[in-house]
A and B are shown apart, each in its own frame.
Chain A
Amino acid sequence: MKDFFATLGIKRTFAVESAALERRFHLLQRDAHPDRFAAQHPDLGESALERSSDINEAYRILRDPMQRTKHLLSLYGFSVEQAKKVPAALLETVMNVQEKIAELEFAVNGKSEVVKDEMRPLAEELRTKRTTLDLDLNQLRDEWDVKICHVVDPDTLSDAERSILARITAFLAERAYITTLLASIEAALKGESHILKH
């Protein structure tokens, strides 16, 4: 597994200042530029080309906050896509919302406004939940960045340190679920079909 933080020679933090990252990228790219080598040492051109494309790839991933987060988590064996643990309470809400959306689909004219009025507070509840999640996520990410980001070997993480990454992973999965659901609610409220297209 590639370590893009190492490629760019920066610390493994969730928060990265984008201007500093860009400066770092240009500096490294200038030094590694294949043209600088090709003229004098044709043999070195090949590895410089490789290095140059690694830097490009690392910059592309790390400049995007979500991809950077996922990459950092993956370095310690965590995957947001594979996260399965969704709190039961959220699943109940998802079920409720989906039932309302289905109800709306079959509602006759007068009834649909009633269903929509029932859906709005559910959407509000989900938005509030997402805001709370974001606050928790920021706190956990800060804690990692300030205290733990120097731990490079996953095996040397303490249980408490691992649990920070585990919670970040679970919260991000929960957040993704909420975002998908909010999009279906908004589409349903606008009168668009909710039928999942996948």
Chain B
Amino acid sequence: MYSEKVLDHYSHPRNVGTLDPNDPNVGTGLVGAPECGDVMRLQLKITDDGVIEDAKFKTFGCGSAIASSSFATEMIKGKTIDEAFQIKNTEIVKELNLPPVKIHCSVLAEDAIKAAVSDFRAKQEKLKEVHS
């Protein structure tokens, strides 16, 4: 039931790993899907100009969840955080040819991106408050 692209990302996941969550330039998004027990952590390293220079992920779940997050880290590098925030799960569905029962995996990846960007923004706000 898995497409070739899913299998490729599943057997050779890109950008698996972790970034320092305490780094002020790193945003961390941790999301989960209670119904299937999946959990996904996506981390972004963002320059002071708001460009994503690195992305790492760690996902426990089915092949589609792993492929969705792996693909998300690939597509997101080089984008600005505003562009990243606009990414829709449908782009992931299309690229990976996900069947309807696996669409929630791509939603999880979209949620993870948004959570990571939001975490980064919250951190920056806090820093500004401290400095002013």
A interface residues with partner B (beta carbon < 8 Å): 81, 83-84, 86, 88, 90-92, 94-95, 98, 102, 173-174, 176-177, 180-181, 184, 196, 198
Contact = CB atoms under 8 A, between A and B. Distances in A.
Given A95-B41, A184-B37, A196-B37, A177 B62 contact: no
B30 A92 contact: yes
8 contacts: A86-B32, A91-B30, A94-B37, A98-B39, A102-B60, A176-B34, A177-B32, A196-B60
Interface string B31-66: 111111111010000000000000000101110000
Classify the interface of chain B: helix, strand, loop or mixed: strand
B61 A196 contact: yes
Contacts of B36: 180, 196, 198
B66 to A, nearest CB: 10
Contacts of A98: 39, 60
Nearest to A179: B37
A196 B62 CA distance: 6
Contacts of B111: 84
Interface of B: 30-39, 41, 58, 60-62, 111
Nearest to A183: B37
B34 A177 contact: yes
A198 to B, nearest CB: 5
Contacts of A90: 32
B60 A95 contact: yes
A173 B37 contact: no
A88 B32 CA distance: 9
Contacts of A86: 32, 34
Given A91-B32, A196-B38, 17 more contacts: A81-B35, A83-B34, A84-B34, A91-B39, A94-B37, A94-B39, A94-B60, A95-B58, A98-B39, A102-B60, A173-B34, A176-B35, A177-B34, A177-B37, A180-B37, A196-B60, A196-B61
